[in-house]
């Protein structure tokens, strides 16, 4: 589908689900900036394609940060939304990411565990023992120049989790304007949600969806 100048790739759709590739720098849900958001775009697209009168239901069950692109699923019915949300709560919805970070690693794989707390006013996340537990597994796929390509298996979906956990270990993500002091104005964060898997809320079939980041720098170093 095309919304103005924004192209949104629809990967899968049935009566219960809508799986899309979220474009970079697009809000998932409307906020006080009043910028265009993915949820509203998709609702409008469904309304036009199926000529539906009135409001269109589309349930948001998980999120991606505004600058991050990748695979997302939306629920087209309240029953599907409830069942998908339950999978999220039970950590049954699996998300994998590619990230390009600064520096090289001594350990080629590992598990990062922290407690994260969000400052809502600053929209920034900090490591704090009173926060919520954040867990991810990572594997280094390749290193070139001063960058490393990381495969991340996200176990908990905390806000800004990947960005904060790697930045706190002196491996900030390329182009992360919020947590990487070396990032330059105009650089795009190198974080992409390339795999999303879950069980269909009605048929119970396991579904796996894959995507690829763009060929822009620094992704072109590795893909």
Q: C-alpha angle with apex 46: 40 to 51, nearest 5 degrees? A: 125
For residues 98 and 149, the answer to whether their CB atoms sit within 8 Å is: yes
**Both tokens assigned to 148:** 């490393």
Q: How far apart (Å, rounded) are the C-alpha atoms in residues 133 and 157? A: 10
pLDDT of res. 4 = 54
Q: For the chain, give the longest Cα–Cα distance.
A: 58
For residues 180 and 172, the answer to whether their CB atoms sit within 8 Å is: yes
Q: Token pair 């309304």 is at which residue? A: 47
pLDDT of res. 77 = 97
pLDDT of res. 5 = 56
For residues 73 and 211, the answer to whether their CB atoms sit within 8 Å is: no
pTM above 0.85, yes or no: yes
**Per-residue buried b or exposed e for 23-40, using 16+ beta carbons within 10 Å of the residue's own CB:** ebebbbeeeeeeeebbbe
**Both tokens assigned to 3:** 């919304």
pLDDT of res. 212 = 95
Q: Which of 14, 35, 45, 65 is catalytic?
A: 65
Q: Report the SS3 class of residue 113.
A: strand
- pLDDT per position as a tens digit, 117-134: 999 989 999 999 999 999
Q: Mean pLDDT, 10 residues at a time, over the chain (223 residues)?
A: 74 98 95 90 93 92 95 98 96 96 95 96 94 97 96 94 97 97 95 98 98 95 95
**Both tokens assigned to 129:** 């023992």
Computed on alpha carbons and rounded to an integer, the radius of gyration of the chain in Å comes to 18
The answer to whether residue 35 is catalytic is no
């Amino acid at each position: 589908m095309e919304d103005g100048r924004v192209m949104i790739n629809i990967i899968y759709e049935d009566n219960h689900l809508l799986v899309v590739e979220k474009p970079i720098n697009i809000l998932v849900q409307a906020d006080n900036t009043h910028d265009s958001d993915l949820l509203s775009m998709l609702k409008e697209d469904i309304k036009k394609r199926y000529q539906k009168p009135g409001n269109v239901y589309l349930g948001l069950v998980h999120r991606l940060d505004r600058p991050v692109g990748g695979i997302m699923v939306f629920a087209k019915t309240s029953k599907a939304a409830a069942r998908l949300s339950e999978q999220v709560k039970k950590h049954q919805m699996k998300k994998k990411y590619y990230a390009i970070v600064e520096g090289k690693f001594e350990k080629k794989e590992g598990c990062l565990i922290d407690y994260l707390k969000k400052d809502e006013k600053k929209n920034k996340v900090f490591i704090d023992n009173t926060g919520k537990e954040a867990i991810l597994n990572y594997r280094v796929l390749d290193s070139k120049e001063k960058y490393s390509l990381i495969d991340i298996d996200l176990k908990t979906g905390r806000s800004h989790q990947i960005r904060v956990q790697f930045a706190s270990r002196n491996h900030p993500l390329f182009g992360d304007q919020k947590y990487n002091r070396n990032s330059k104005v105009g650089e795009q964060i190198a974080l992409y949600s390339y795999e999303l898997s879950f069980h269909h809320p009605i048929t119970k079939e396991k579904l796996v969806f894959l995507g690829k980041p763009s060929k822009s720098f620094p992704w072109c170093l590795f893909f």
